[in-house]
Amino acid sequence: MPRKYDRVIFVCTGNTCRSPMAEALLKNLIQEEGIEILSRGLIVLFSEPINPKAEEVLKNHDIPTTEHTTKQFKAIEVTENTLVLTMTYKQKLKIIQDYGIEKNLYSIKEYVEEFGDVVDPYGGTLLDYEGCYEELALLVKKTMYRLLREV
């Protein structure tokens, strides 16, 4: 039975921390399900790697990181079967306003029936990044369960 979504795009501000961590977490959980998993940023002025603290936290949890470079969110990547998950409600509204995309667009907490935003640890300590990781790990696991149920 075909899945409802064949692509998931996690979106945050700069695509250096939250969305790449969510991408890495979901890729680690879903390896052979035929779902493409990406991450993008709403404000990417130039290509840069994942934040070093985010990368360190992922490595500390044995989550493989790829050679991530930041990429700008583009409406052309969103198809009928794409699920777009933002880190904040404000980012969701920005996608609606700037790109006119509303279908299959949720904040990650909204998608798993929780409230609030995933706070950006940018500029914080390694402990702040660890806290963000822990929150995302739970949200991404809930996301995976919902994704695999939806056909």
Q: Which residues are catalytic?
A: 12, 18, 120
SS3 13: coil
* 84 sits in which H/E element: strand 82-86
* Euclidean distance between the first and the last CA atom of the chain, given in angstroms as a whole number: 7
Measuring CA to CA, which residue among 37, 58, 45 is closest to residue 15? 45
16/57 Cα distance (integer angstroms) = 13
18/5 Cα distance (integer angstroms) = 21
Contacting residues for 107 by C-beta, under 8 A, at least 6 apart: 85, 86, 87, 88, 89, 91, 92, 117
88/120 Cα distance (integer angstroms) = 9
